[in-house]
């Protein structure tokens, strides 16, 4: 058996020291009727080589995204990850450590997380970030719950152009409470319906949640939204792609109260959608309602700089049923990965990644506009993805697949009103030639 | 060196050469986005790669970890994280696939999830699993929301959840998130659920009991079948917090103990690395009555091909975008294949032997308030040491000087000055003997050189950290001083 170090002789010695004759005696507290009479109906253990062969064979039945000319985004983005990121994250003293409860032997973890929090604050303009949540979807749910604790109100207005799986997650998280969610469909131009918000927003609304760039790729006017929300003392929650903040105004400056989202674009692998990390950041006055762990900078008893987990009286292990959330483990390693990525790439590098993603997407947009049979419903006020329409979109997407191209995400699946629409994304990795190939193929497919 | 943080380092020439621009027209954001929505400046540092790598490598060196130190952190099952798991999780076919690729291009991933589910069903006796939750706590939320919906559909008025006073903090926090009132039930003098008290508080409004078995004292709840009947007779369900499943692998199954829904911490029992506190994975298994309530999607098989099935009648919905922490599943699956049925049993046996060995060797030095045979962990009380001036905290900090990560402290809450020791099965007798020797040594130091213990740790990069100051005047992010 792998991974057990004790020899039979040592086990015998230990049993003797314990004062029993056999290991079975140690299980005498179990009622006999629940003890298994036979061994589990499982295969026997395999050698490392055989396991490697079996699992590798499974992996080879998946086709990595890079083998396609892909324009998939929709919440999970194929950016380049500098080689150094995974080298740092593979270091045992990050990979195999636990939550840094014991500050003195966890200073490196604590400092790295403090740096992650600082980076999130620099990007978002906010005062305080936590040490991470699970993903963008649960971060939205936690953010909305936070606003309802702060406002002590029961109604939530959300934009229907939040990522569909985030909305579903939010609804699941809120289902244990008596909160009401009202969903606003966008105007025909794809943007949040500000007029409707102005006309219908009442004092019992505690939260207005939206996404920008929204799920259709469009960049919302967060400032106007926040202004309207403030009139009824509702808090605003903005879901965003942190990479877009390299070129877009920081949400704090637009008056947003809580910003959250998925940190995967900051140096995270695709991982079939997980693990990534959720980020959440807010203003000072909301700190005590934050969910999850937070690292603070302090001193040791000699007065030297030191870090530790702090403000823990919000958390489940202290507050139990009165905690701000039940979250315990988060996604620390991915958070440290985001800090390493941002440090490697720097402000100029991050701007370049964002700008090249933007430029590639604008180029695809320009080229698609020229194709007969393609309709583009919205203005090009987007960051790295946009919507285009074509007759028989699902069929067209299949035809693309046959040419080893993934045209994007089929919107009709989650938005019936956009039944022939495709959401296409370009990252900085996209080559001009690949974009040209996609447009050329589309023209070919449409000609039949 | 390198006390400075990343924002205080010398800057290098700005670089943007990880990916070259590809020759498309250089459109400016302000061409299509109103200026007022754009950012004026991005105040991140620009550093050289070597400086960054050295900075974080140095930070790594400041930590204790399973690979470098004995890490007997109770309730966290800090077992060895096999390296083959890492190699498998990093395969391109797993780490570089997109969640929205067509299903014929991800058959291997779906088969892995499907096969892993079958194996876990056999290990636990449950009918089906969801792998969506990212942690034990999120698993609890999934499980308890299923229970809530189950009662709603049965139109039963259920308002309370019963939780022993030895429970993990996540249990009551989860019950609150599901809109339930928590009823805490005191343990009896043996450290187990007090059956008489349980009978008194259980009525028709009890939705569920949340139990860890073995409990957080490391003791097996011997009267689990009575508990099951008491709860089931009132229409309540049993939730199993699987944080402590490790000693029972191949010995019994949660289904045999009567549990209706369970979560497994794959980062504990199934050896995936803790990564400074995540990512983990909380697989949630259900018996037949809760099958229709699972989160969507699950993976099913038809004509030799695997697919995501969203058609679950009464699903509670999603808890996460996409399908869970998938590459954590790859690690846990690899581990399970490697161990097989014999390996699981030996895991359980050695976890229990190791814990009892420590208990036996140290019980004359540190009080064991609940002295029954333990399972995977043993809880000591440092009350007699405290009387001599050294609290559990001091002993924990002194262990660091000996190269041992402290056990869980002050938990469970029902033990005064608690140190909760979980050695796990992967540690050798040699390591345990060293730990035992050190614990005895510290006990002696308390008599002979109390200040040395109270001042500990002495060998770490920082001395004892002022947590009170951290909370009183929070400094939660770096700011340029003087600006």
Can you tell me the distance from the alpha carbon of A377 to that of B87, in angstroms, rounded to the nearest whole number? 45
Which CATH number does A65-79+346-447 carry? 3.90.1150.10
Mean pLDDT confidence for B289-316: 96
Start-end of CATH 3.90.1150.10 domains in chain A: 65-79+346-447
> Could you report the per-residue pLDDT of B259-282, keeping only the tens digit for each?
999 999 999 999 999 999 999 999
Handedness of CA A152, A154, A159, A162 (dihedral sign): positive
Query: Would the CB atoms of A18 and B357 count as touching at under 8 Å?
Result: yes
Strand order of the β-sheet with B378-381 is: B378-381, B418-421, B408-409
CB A291 within 8 A of CB A274: no
Q: Three-state SS across B348-391? A: HHHHHHHHHHHHHHHCCCCECCCCCCCCCCEEEECHHHHHCCCC
Can you tell me the distance from the alpha carbon of B363 to that of B361, in angstroms, rounded to the nearest whole number? 6
Closest Cα partner for A257 from A292, A241, A278, A233?
A233
Residues pairing with A209 in the sheet = A158, A237
Mutate to test the interface with B, among A256, A328, A366 (most CBs of B within 10 A): A328
Q: Which helix (H) or strand (E) holds B399?
A: helix B392-401
Query: Would the CB atoms of B406 and A248 count as touching at under 8 Å?
Result: no
Which chain A residue lies closest to B78 (C-alpha atoms)? A98
3 state SS of A335: helix
Partner residue facing A169 (CB), from B53, B93, B320:
B320
Mutate to test the interface with B, among A320, A378, A383, A404 (most CBs of B within 10 A): A320
Kindly tell me if the per-residue pLDDT of B81 is higher than 80.
yes
CA B115 to chain centre: 23
What are the b/e assignments for A204-215, b being 16+ CB within 10 Å?
ebbbbbbbbbbb
Kindly tell me if the per-residue pLDDT of B482 is higher than 80.
no
> Could you report the per-residue pLDDT of B104-163, keeping only the tens digit for each?
999 999 999 999 999 999 999 999 999 999 999 999 999 999 999 999 999 999 999 999
Mutate to test the interface with A, among B135, B242, B275 (most CBs of A within 10 A): B275
Q: How confident is the model at residue B1 (pLDDT cuts 50, 70, 90)?
A: very low
Partner residue facing A134 (CB), from B134, B373, B400:
B134
3 state SS of A128: strand
Which CATH number does B350-469 carry? 3.90.1150.10
> Could you report the per-residue pLDDT of A33-76, keeping only the tens digit for each?
999 999 999 999 999 999 999 999 999 999 999 999 999 999 99
Kindly list the residues from chain B whose CB atom is less than 8 angstroms away from the CB atom of residue A174: none
The full set of domain ranges for chain B reads 6-61, 84-338, 350-469
**Left if phi > 0, otherwise alpha if psi is -120 to 50, otherwise beta: which for A300?**
beta
Query: Would the CB atoms of B29 and A295 count as touching at under 8 Å?
Result: no
Greatest CA separation for chain B: 77
Q: What does the pLDDT read at residue A347?
A: 94
Q: What does the pLDDT read at residue A103?
A: 97
DSSP string, B228-276: HHHHHHTT-EEEEEGGG-GGGTTT--TTTTT-SEEEEETTTTT----TT
Closest Cα partner for A250 from A385, A125, A81?
A125
| Range with the poorest average pLDDT among A109-123, B16-30, B241-255, B348-362 | B16-30
Kindly list the residues from chain B whose CB atom is less than 8 angstroms away from the CB atom of residue A329: 134-137, 267, 274, 277-280
Mutate to test the interface with A, among B476, B478, B480, B483 (most CBs of A within 10 A): B476
**How many Å lie between the alpha carbon of A59 and the closest alpha carbon of chain B?**
4
Handedness of CA B471, A95, B55, A265 (dihedral sign): negative
Can you tell me the distance from the alpha carbon of B32 to that of A380, in angstroms, rounded to the nearest whole number? 6
Partner residue facing B141 (CB), from A57, A326, A432:
A326
Kindly tell me if the per-residue pLDDT of B388 is higher than 50.
yes
Mean pLDDT confidence for B179-191: 96
Can you tell me the distance from the alpha carbon of B355 to that of B79, in angstroms, rounded to the nearest whole number? 13
Can you tell me the distance from the alpha carbon of A430 to that of B296, in angstroms, rounded to the nearest whole number? 33
Task: Count the helices and strands in chain B (H runs, E runs).
Answer: 15, 12
Residues of chain A with pLDDT under 70: none
Query: Would the CB atoms of B16 and A6 count as touching at under 8 Å?
Result: no
- Measured at the CA of A310, the angle between CA A308 and CA A311, to 5 degrees, comes to 175
Can you tell me the distance from the alpha carbon of A154 to that of A42, in angstroms, rounded to the nearest whole number? 49
CB B402 within 8 A of CB B435: no
Q: What are B271's two structure tokens?
A: 């050896």
Kindly list the residues from chain A whose CB atom is less than 8 angstroms away from the CB atom of residue B338: 2, 45-46, 48, 51
Mutate to test the interface with A, among B34, B276, B280, B464 (most CBs of A within 10 A): B276
Q: Which helix (H) or strand (E) holds A361?
A: helix A332-369
Query: Would the CB atoms of A323 and B169 count as touching at under 8 Å?
Result: yes
Can you tell me the distance from the alpha carbon of A278 to that of B358, in angstroms, rounded to the nearest whole number? 39
Kindly list the residues from chain B whose CB atom is less than 8 angstroms away from the CB atom of residue A425: none
Query: Would the CB atoms of B169 and A320 count as touching at under 8 Å?
Result: yes
> Could you report the per-residue pLDDT of B404-418, keeping only the tens digit for each?
999 999 999 999 999
Q: What are A313's two structure tokens?
A: 């009286």
Percent of chain B, pLDDT > 70? 99
Kindly list the residues from chain A whose CB atom is less than 8 angstroms away from the CB atom of residue B88: 51-52, 55-56, 59
Mean pLDDT confidence for B67-71: 98
Mean pLDDT confidence for B17-28: 87
**Out of 3.90.25.10, 3.30.70.100, 3.90.800.10, 3.40.640.10, which CATH number does the structure's domain B84-338 have?**
3.40.640.10
Q: What does the pLDDT read at residue B3?
A: 63
Handedness of CA B227, B229, B235, B238 (dihedral sign): positive
Closest Cα partner for A317 from B174, B185, B419, B238?
B174
3 state SS of A240: coil
Q: How many CB pairs under 8 A join A and B?
A: 696
Burial tier of B40 (Cβ tally within 10 Å: 0-12, 13-18, 19+): exposed
Q: What are A265's two structure tokens?
A: 């674009």
Query: Would the CB atoms of B172 and A70 count as touching at under 8 Å?
Result: no
Question: Average model confidence (pLDDT) for chain B?
Answer: 96
Q: What does the pLDDT read at residue B16?
A: 63
> Could you report the per-residue pLDDT of B399-448, keeping only the tens digit for each?
999 999 999 999 999 999 999 999 999 999 999 999 999 999 999 999 99
Can you tell me the distance from the alpha carbon of A229 to that of A201, in angstroms, rounded to the nearest whole number? 8
Query: Would the CB atoms of B105 and A320 count as touching at under 8 Å?
Result: no
Write the CA distances from A188 to A77, A163, A216, A358, A377, integer angstroms: 27, 18, 12, 23, 9
Query: Would the CB atoms of B19 and A429 count as touching at under 8 Å?
Result: yes
What are the b/e assignments for B71-106, b being 16+ CB within 10 Å?
bbbbbbbbbbbbebbbebbbbbbbbbbbbbbeeebb
DSSP state of B284: E
3 state SS of A218: strand
Kindly list the residues from chain A whose CB atom is less than 8 angstroms away from the CB atom of residue B275: 94-97, 331-334
**Left if phi > 0, otherwise alpha if psi is -120 to 50, otherwise beta: which for A81?**
beta
Which chain B residue lies closest to A435 (C-alpha atoms)? B24
Query: Would the CB atoms of A247 and B29 count as touching at under 8 Å?
Result: yes
CB A297 within 8 A of CB A305: yes
Assign a CATH topology to domain A83-341: 3.40.640
Which chain B residue lies closest to A330 (C-alpha atoms)? B278
Q: How confident is the model at residue B483 (pLDDT cuts 50, 70, 90)?
A: very low
DSSP state of A245: G
Closest Cα partner for B456 from B448, B465, B447?
B465
Start-end of CATH 3.40.640.10 domains in chain A: 83-341
């Amino acid at each position: 058996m792998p991974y057990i170090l004790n020899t039979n002789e040592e086990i015998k010695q230990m049993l003797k020291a314990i004062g029993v004759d056999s290991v079975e005696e140690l299980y005498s507290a179990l009622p006999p009727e629940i003890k298994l009479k036979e061994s589990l109906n499982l295969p026997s253990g395999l050698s490392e080589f055989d396991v490697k062969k079996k699992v590798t064979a499974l992996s080879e039945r998946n086709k990595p995204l890079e083998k396609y000319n892909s324009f998939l985004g929709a919440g999970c983005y194929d950016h380049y990850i500098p080689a150094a990121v995974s080298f740092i994250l593979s270091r045992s003293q990050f990979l195999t450590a636990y939550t840094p409860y014991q500050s003195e032997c966890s200073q490196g973890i604590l400092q790295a997380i403090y740096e992650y929090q600082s980076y999130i604050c620099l990007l978002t303009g906010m005062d305080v970030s936590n040490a991470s949540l699970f993903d963008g979807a649960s971060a939205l749910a936690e953010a909305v719950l936070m606003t309802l604790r702060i406002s002590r109100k029961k109604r939530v207005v959300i934009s229907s152009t939040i990522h569909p799986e985030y909305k579903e997650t939010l609804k699941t998280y809120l289902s244990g409470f008596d909160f009401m969610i009202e969903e606003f469909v966008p105007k025909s131009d794809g943007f949040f319906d500000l007029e409707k918000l102005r006309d219908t927003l009442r004092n019992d609304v505690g939260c207005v949640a939206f996404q920008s760039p929204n799920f259709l790729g469009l960049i919302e006017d967060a400032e106007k939204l926040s202004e309207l929300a403030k009139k009824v003392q509702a808090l605003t929650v903005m879901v965003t792609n942190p990479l877009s903040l390299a070129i877009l105004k920081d949400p704090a400056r637009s008056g947003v109260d809580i910003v959250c989202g998925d940190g995967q674009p900051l140096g995270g692998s695709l991982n079939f959608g997980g693990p990534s990390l959720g980020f959440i950041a807010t203003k000072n006055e909301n700190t005590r309602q934050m969910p999850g762990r937070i690292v603070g900078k302090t001193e040791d008893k000699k007065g030297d700089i030191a870090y530790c987990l702090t403000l823990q009286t919000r958390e489940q292990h202290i507050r139990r049923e009165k905690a701000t959330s039940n979250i315990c483990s988060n996604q620390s390693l991915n958070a440290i990965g985001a800090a390493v990525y941002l440090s490697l790439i720097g402000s100029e590098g991050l701007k370049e990644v964002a700008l090249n993603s933007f430029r590639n997407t604008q180029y695809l947009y320009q080229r698609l506009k020229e194709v007969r049979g393609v309709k583009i419903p919205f203005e090009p006020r987007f960051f790295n993805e946009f919507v285009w329409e074509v007759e028989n979109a699902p069929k067209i997407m299949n035809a693309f697949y046959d040419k080893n191209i993934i045209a994007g995400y089929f919107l009709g699946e989650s938005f019936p009103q956009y039944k022939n629409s495709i959401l296409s994304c370009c990252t900085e990795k996209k080559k001009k030639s690949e974009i040209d190939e996609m447009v050329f193929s589309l023209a070919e497919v449409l000609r039949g | 060196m390198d006390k400075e943080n990343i924002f205080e380092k010398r800057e290098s020439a700005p670089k943007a050469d990880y990916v070259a621009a590809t020759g498309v027209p250089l459109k400016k954001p302000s061409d299509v986005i109103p200026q007022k929505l754009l950012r004026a400046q991005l105040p991140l540092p620009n550093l050289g790669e070597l400086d960054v790598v050295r900075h974080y490598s140095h930070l790594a060196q400041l930590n204790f970890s399973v690979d470098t130190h004995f890490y007997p952190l109770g309730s966290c099952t800090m077992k060895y994280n096999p390296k083959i798991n890492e190699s498998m999780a990093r395969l391109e076919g797993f780490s570089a696939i997109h969640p929205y690729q067509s299903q014929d291009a991800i058959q291997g991933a779906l088969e892995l999830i499907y096969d892993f589910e079958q194996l876990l069903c056999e290990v636990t006796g449950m009918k089906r699993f969801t792998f969506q939750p990212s942690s034990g706590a999120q698993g609890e939320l999934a499980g308890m929301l299923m229970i809530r919906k189950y009662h709603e559909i049965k139109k039963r008025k259920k308002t309370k959840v019963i939780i022993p006073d030895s429970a993990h903090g996540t249990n009551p926090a989860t019950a609150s998130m599901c809109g339930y009132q928590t009823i805490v039930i005191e343990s009896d003098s043996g450290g187990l659920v007090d059956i008489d008290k349980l009978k008194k508080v259980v009525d028709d409004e009890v939705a569920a009991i949340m139990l860890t078995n073995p409990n957080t004292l490391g003791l097996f709840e011997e009267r689990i079948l009575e508990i099951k009947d008491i709860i089931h007779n009132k229409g309540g369900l049993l939730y199993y917090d699987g944080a402590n499943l490790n000693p029972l692998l191949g010995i019994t199954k949660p289904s045999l103990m009567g549990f209706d829904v369970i979560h497994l911490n794959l980062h504990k029992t199934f050896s995936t690395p803790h990564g400074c506190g995540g990512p983990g994975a909380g697989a949630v298994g259900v018996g037949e009555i809760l099958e229709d309530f699972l989160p969507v999607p699950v993976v099913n098989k038809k004509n030799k091909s695997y697919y995501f099935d969203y058609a679950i009648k009464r699903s509670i919905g999603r808890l996460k975008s996409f399908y869970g922490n998938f590459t954590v599943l790859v690690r846990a699956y690899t581990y399970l294949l490697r161990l097989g049925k014999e390996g699981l049993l030996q895991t359980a046996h050695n976890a229990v032997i190791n814990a009892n060995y420590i208990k036996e060797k140290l019980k004359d030095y540190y009080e064991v308030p609940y002295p029954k045979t333990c399972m995977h962990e043993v809880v000591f009380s440092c009350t007699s040491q405290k009387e001599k001036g050294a609290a559990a905290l001091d002993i924990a900090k002194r262990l660091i000087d000996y190269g041992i990560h402290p056990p869980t402290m002050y938990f469970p809450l029902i033990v005064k000055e608690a140190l909760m020791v979980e050695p796990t099965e992967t540690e050798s007798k040699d390591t345990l003997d060293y730990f035992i020797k050190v614990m005895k040594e510290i006990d002696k130091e308390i008599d002979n050189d109390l200040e040395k213990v109270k001042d500990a740790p002495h060998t770490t990069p920082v001395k004892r950290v002022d947590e009170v100051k951290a909370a009183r005047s929070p400094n939660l992010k770096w700011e340029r001083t003087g600006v």
